Amino acid sequence: MSSVRVRPGDSLDKALRALKKKLDKEGVMKAVKAHRFYLKPSIRKRAKSKAALKYKRQR
């Protein structure tokens, strides 16, 4: 579990910003978004290939 120590005199905004940065670095938010709802494996595979095709067209 991620935690951030807040020193006396530090603002709450600074602590929240540090926590958000730490969660983003650890990949927690990405994992939460990925597990928000269930995708069937066939749909997941289809979305992955669609994203790859989109990436390939951009290059």
CB 15 within 8 A of CB 4: yes
Q: Please provide residue 39's backbone torsions phi and psi, each rounded to the nearest 5 degrees.
A: -115, 135
pLDDT of residue 13: 94
> What gap in Å lies between CA 29 and CA 23, rounded to an integer?
6
pTM: 0.57
CB 2 within 8 A of CB 22: yes
Burial track 36-51 (b if 16+ CB lie within 10 A, e otherwise): eeeeeeeeeeeeeeee
> pLDDT tens across 4-39, in order?
999 899 999 999 999 999 999 999 989 999 889 999
